Structure 1
């Protein structure tokens, strides 16, 4: 029987609300088809604005501008149609001639959802600690603009100290310069916890992040 020693939790979508909910709200508000923005973000690749922000390579102001430009690029309409065809969707929506996405407004909506702590998971982590499991957070995140208190408040700020204290290790992509699903970040987490990969349970809301490598 496998003996597990540690549990690693993603933050957004697991311990707190999901930024995907904010994306869905933005799409509904601006009459964009479902998953249009998710496809655009994914297709931007590892050098996309969102991915670079999570590795700590862009400041928030730099990110807002580049994020909006990337998502407004007409090439994303082609990517979205490819996505629908790959899913064998028969109902192909007509897309407007021009799609303009406000990177700042979108990101703020995403973060408003990600600021809400999930009480069920919060209580589960406390019980797991009592049972002597090592507990870590492994999150793709970004660095807040420390000079701009108003923007920090709009983005939801940092997780409360008492929340972070639940974890033996709180590993942030923007601090270490690695992001999921890079295998190096998972191995880094195991090293910090002092466990082997086969001794860990990892929880995430994104399927590609929990696939074996």
Structure 2
């Protein structure tokens, strides 16, 4: 007996609907004079339960104000030799400003939604400072689940369950696309299918196979 087709698609934002995080991180570190390894270490800590990642986890769940986070985050970053210390005010906004959108994944989401697939943006947000294009998001998604608004963050299985509930579909009929393996595992623990996003072509091909509908122009 063939497996039931999924009914809903849950997409991450940074790294899926934007260029890869690594590219953006390199650009912002160059512009700000920051040692990129210090940024990577803090972000990694937020997904391993290390105390150094506690501020990011608090920001993403709405428990720390953005300005307070920026001050704490900037104080933990290392500057490159000869560069001044990072300027805390507006730092998060400047980081996300160098994340250009990924039109191929946006087009795929738009086509799947037009084919009747329920869609959600499920993303860990940094205090709402990402500068999302709300008009485009309204075209792409039936539901927005933003971590700082709901008080939950990936990879907690509860945030995936909340997204399924808001979409009105069982968790087992959802497919999650994320660029972090920890978040893919969280989705699977919530009973969902998951795709680890590494490049557009592979992800889109997997989505077409799963949903049985084209996600690109023919």
Match among 144, 147, 160 for residue 173 of structure 1: 147
**Distance of 2:152 and 2:34 partners within structure 1:** 34
**Distance of 1:104 and 1:18 partners within structure 2:** 25
CA contact under 8 A between 2:34 and 2:86: conserved in structure 1? no
| Counterpart for residue 201 of structure 2 | none
TM-score w.r.t. the length of structure 1 is 0.70
Alignment of 1:10-25 (within 5 A): 10-25=12-27
Structure 2 gap segments, 5+ residues each: 190-218
RMSD of aligned residue pairs (Cα, Å): 2.7
| Counterpart for residue 128 of structure 1 | 112
2:121 aligned counterpart, secondary structure: strand
1:189 aligned counterpart, secondary structure: helix
User: What whole-Å deviation, never above 9, does each CA across 1:113-154 have from its counterpart, x for those lacking one?
Assistant: 23x32211121112101211111110111334xxxxxxxxxx
**Distance of 1:185 and 1:31 partners within structure 2:** 32
In the superposition, relative to structure 1, how do residues 48 and 69 fare at CA in structure 2: closer, same or farther (>3 Å)? farther
Higher relative contact order (CA 8 A, sep 6+): 1
| Counterpart for residue 197 of structure 2 | none
Offset at residue 20 of structure 1 (A): 4.0
Offset at residue 165 of structure 1 (A): 3.3
In the superposition, relative to structure 1, how do residues 101 and 207 fare at CA in structure 2: closer, same or farther (>3 Å)? farther
CA contact under 8 A between 1:68 and 1:104: conserved in structure 2? no
In the superposition, relative to structure 1, how do residues 49 and 67 fare at CA in structure 2: closer, same or farther (>3 Å)? same
Q: Does 1:67 align with 2:73?
A: yes
Structure 1 gap segments, 5+ residues each: 73-94, 145-154
TM-score w.r.t. the length of structure 2 is 0.69
2:16 aligned counterpart, secondary structure: coil
1:49 aligned counterpart, secondary structure: helix
CA contact under 8 A between 1:41 and 1:50: conserved in structure 2? yes
| Counterpart for residue 198 of structure 2 | none
Offset at residue 160 of structure 1 (A): 2.9
